[in-house]
Structures are given as C-alpha cells and as structure tokens.
Chains A and B, each alone.
Chain A
C-alpha cells in the first residue's frame, strides 16, 4: 500500500459511478456491500438531486459481526428482502472501496442466489478499490447494455440513442433537455436515453436506433464500441460544447440522418441571434476580447469551454483536466488552443497555478471556485465536482446553443462589463465589500472602545466575561446582538452588561 496526501478529490469512486448508472435507471435496485458509511450514496441522491422517493440503494452492512463471522448471511438476507419488497427487474450487488479489500467472491454469491430471486442479479465487473467514477461508469454501462441488448429491427424513422445523461452529473439532465429539443427541431427521433430513465425493457430495444450518440468523453464510448462490434451500430462521440463543436455535432448527425442542418445552425448564429448579438456587441470588446482565462475541469468541459472561449475572443492561458487516463488525447485535442495544456489531479497544485497565472477569469470546478475566491479572481464553474448550486431548478444546459447562451450569461455575471470596467479603472472601486469592511471595523472599534472606556460614566459597561462572549459571536450578527443587548440593558436599568444580562436579553428577543 502507498499513501498519498489529498485534500479534495476531483473524481468520485467506482461506487459513486455505479450508483450514478443504477440510480438513473428504472426498476433497478442496488445493494451496497460495505461498512456503514458507504450508504452516503443515498444522501447524494436525496440532497443534491432532491429525491422525493427513497433512493434505490440498500446497504448490506459489514459490521464487527460480519468481520468475524463472514458477511454472506447478511448479504443474502438483504438481497432477498430487496427482491421481495422492491420487486426490481435487476438487483446490482456492488462492493465498495473497503469491502473490496475483503476479497470476497460476490459473483459466486450472486450465482447461487440467482435461483431464489425474481430480479436478475448483476455484480459490476469493476475493481471498486482501484477504479474511479468515470471508468467504472464506462465499464458498468457496457456490462448492463451487453447483458440486455437484443437484435431488433430498426425503427421506421431515423432514430438515435443518447448515451451519457445521468443523475449527479454536471448539468447533465439540463443538457439532455437541450439535446432533445435540438433533435426535435431537426425532426430526429430518440429511441432511448442511457442511463437516465432507461429500464431493462428499454435496453432490450437499444438496437432499434440507427445511431448512438455519446455526449461525454469520460464514459459511454465503450458502450458505443460494443454496440458497433456486436450489432454493427454506427455512433458518434462529440460533446456539443461551443460554436464549432456544436456545429460539428449537428453536421455529423445531419449527414447520418440525411437531413440538412445548415439552416438550423445559421438561425442560431446569424447576426440576429442572441449569441451573435452578445459576442459582437461593442461592450464585449472590453468585457470579453483579449481577456486572459484559465480552464480546468473534466475532459469534455475543459475541452469544450476552451474552444468556446477562443471562439468568443478570450485568450486561454492554460487548459487542464483531472482525467489522467485521457492525457494523450487531451493534449492532442487542445494543442495550439491554449498556451499550456496539461493533466493534473492535485487540487493544491491547481490552486497555486491559478495564483501564479493571475488570470482575468477562471473556468473550473467547484474547487477552483474556492481557490479563486481565496485569491480574489472571478470564476465560472464549468465542471464537476459539483455542488448543490450546480443542480439549479431553471433550465441551465452547458451543451448546444442554449448552453452557449448560458455560459455567456455566466461570464457576464462574473466579470466586469465593458463600461463598468472603464469607470472602475478610472475612478476606483466603491464596492459593497468595502461597506461591510467598514461595518466590521466599526463594531470592532466600538468593542475596543468599550474595553478601553471601562471607567466612562454614561456608556453601558461590558464586563470582561460579557465582552468575551460578544467577541465569540460571528461578526455578521455581532453588531445586532450588541445593540439588542444594550437596548435591553437600558430598558431594564442595568448599568453594566454581565453574562446574566446577555443571556436574559437573548431569552427576551428570541421568545
């Protein structure tokens, strides 16, 4: 074993990858074979995706007793109960990082149990200890498709399968809506989306489509390769992010479907279009053109956003991805697009690199948002790792033409706009933060003053204990607490504020 220091992780675990696949599908229940804490997967679904139903994951816990006497009995009991109560089509039995270390043969358990369950039992063929989220998704999606896909006659009209969208991805459900709308506008049917919303029954019919479209580069391509090899299905693997890639995406689909997509592209990029009016606006001359940006994220978003930034006149100082396994294709893809192209999964290093580069704007993950805030750089979040803020309620795709408008809006909301920048450069800042700083300074000063003027006659005195308590209160409510307590003390005729007065004032105001 080798130890490696990490503060934050860019990619999730194999378990989270498998859960994203199974949790996105219909009538599939996952039995997680691991210690207590591994049921955190449920929290991700119920909190980030705001699940209104119980997330389809059940833990078969490995506790002290299972460590001593073996975990098989508990696993069997859990699987049988899930089968009986949930009646799923498939039960996926998955190990976790730590249970992988037990080196149990889950395949053998599933094999003997299969005779006793209605559901099909599947054990993911991944190494839950070693593999990471996207690789596990890629492998497991392929395994699921390979298990259920059957030879079917093609649909009458040209139809496609969309491969990629899943829960807990970065705006992926929003992307799906955008792609659906685009395909509908072009008159192309969707046969199936995988894994989001797919059932086992639907997987059986996956071969009805004429074309597979893999939306993201991190996973999904293996499914396409499998379907091409086994069933001769054609596929394309382009992430439609930015003007050029969206155009390429549409053109290739058009070519395969025998549809002319150029009118559609023109409509979205004509001088009358919103995108064009924004990018060509004279205001953008100073707000976008020549700005120095840095880009970091997963593969698809780092590549796509780098293209887009170049397309709207922003200079990309460097572009990086944490997808280490995709290093060579990343470098090849972005060669010449940014001054430096690299692969790195160390959060601290990226943070330092941002600081050294001093960019005008940062495009990164939620972690780069933090790093940027620390060094006071504006930041637009364009990739996982995500945060609850990346699960917005209103339509917010990253892909397609709507994705471009959304990113432009985000840039405008993040950096200083043209005229604004001129004014600030000429006359200096007059920001709210300054006011907040002043307010803090005032509270601090008056607190200090109280401390010094312990002998003054008119002011209400604070005893050292009480003053200490006041200082423990977070600064943003401290002023209010101070005022309330003093008002209360005056009303009650206290000459001195003691702990007793503070506590009584609290009770008084919070009743």
Chain B
C-alpha cells in the first residue's frame, strides 16, 4: 500500500496496537493465574481500542472506502507497518512479559511526544492512549522486578527472554523518510531522540530486577515499519483474518 506519509504513520501506530493486542488475546483463558489472565486481556482490550482509533483515522486518510475493518482484516502481511517486536510469538509468560515491558516503555515515551503533535486528531488519540499505557507500564515494570528479583527459575526465564528479545529494540529508535517528514511537519517525532530516555528507564528497572542488560551492538533486525516482517506475522494474520476472509461481509 503506497500512501501519504501521514497514512503510513497512522498505520504504524495502529498496527503496533492491533498486533500486540492480538498476541495478548492468544493468552485468553490460558494465563498463569486468573489475575494475570485478566491483566493480559484487559491490556489487549485497551490496545484494541487504541488500534480502532488509529486505524479509523488511517482509513479517513486512505479514503477509497477503507475503514478500520478493511484495514485490519483485508491487508496482507506486507501491508502491515508494525514493529517486529510486537509480532514476536508469545513464547512463555516471561517472553510475553518482557516484550510488553520493552514496548510499554517505548509507547509511553512515543505517546508523550505525540501529545504535542500539530495534528489535533493524532494528539487527541495520544492523550487518550497514554493514560492506559501508563497503567500497562506500571504493571509490566512491577512484574519484571518481582520475577527478575524472584526465584532462580523466574530470574533465569526472564533473563533468557530479555536476551532473545533485546535485538528487536533497535527498530524502535530507527527512523526513515516517513519519520523525517512527520517530524518536519510537526506531526511526529524523531525515533532516535527517545533512545536515551528509554534506555535509562529500562536499565533502572532491570537493575532493580537484578537482570543483566544485554551488551550493546549485535544483531539489529528491522523492516517491520516498512512492511518487511518476520515469519511470525503471517501466521498471526491467518488466525486473525480467517473469518472475514472466509465469509466476506459476515455480520454478527
């Protein structure tokens, strides 16, 4: 889907929320404890609501009869613009938690930048979403500390998840031409400018959790924002889209 930079930008914001919501929804009924099952699905619900707001705005920008549903259900994987981090498989509970923590810290910073967007519609969604994401970040940070500074087993599981997912954090701070145009128009922010604040916060929490921050450098996969995804996204979409694809126009 080739479109305006604003459309690309809105798809990135919406797809991050949508794909992470879908991943968290996979935990429904399978959480390690009832409280966690509710927390994971409550977070999924918040993100789904945010995805609907972003994608509805994207659909307005796209025109051509698009709406939130056609964008969610009728695009192929190459048309999705989410970060690689959020499409990574749930793995075990530790993997899901670390993925959420890395994302929440980034989303909190990104939404704060968007509060000051010159685009009133974008600023309004950011204002709504940041209250919810702040709650998510508080929860994911607390759990990283409790389980990192927990038993030898919980600590090992968290450290392994951190080591596996760490390479994907680079993409959060890698800008491209779309980011540059959004920055120049006062709509968006420079992704690289968030890195220091993010690292500082993440390091503080990981230190409190007695976890080791993986070494700098190394493999830095990217491409999600441009539609080049890992093998995992296609399978996620197959499940998410099967009903509207098999029964076009189906209604409840």
A, B in one complex: no
**Chain B interface residues (CB < 8 Å from chain A):** none
**Chain A interface residues (CB < 8 Å from chain B):** none
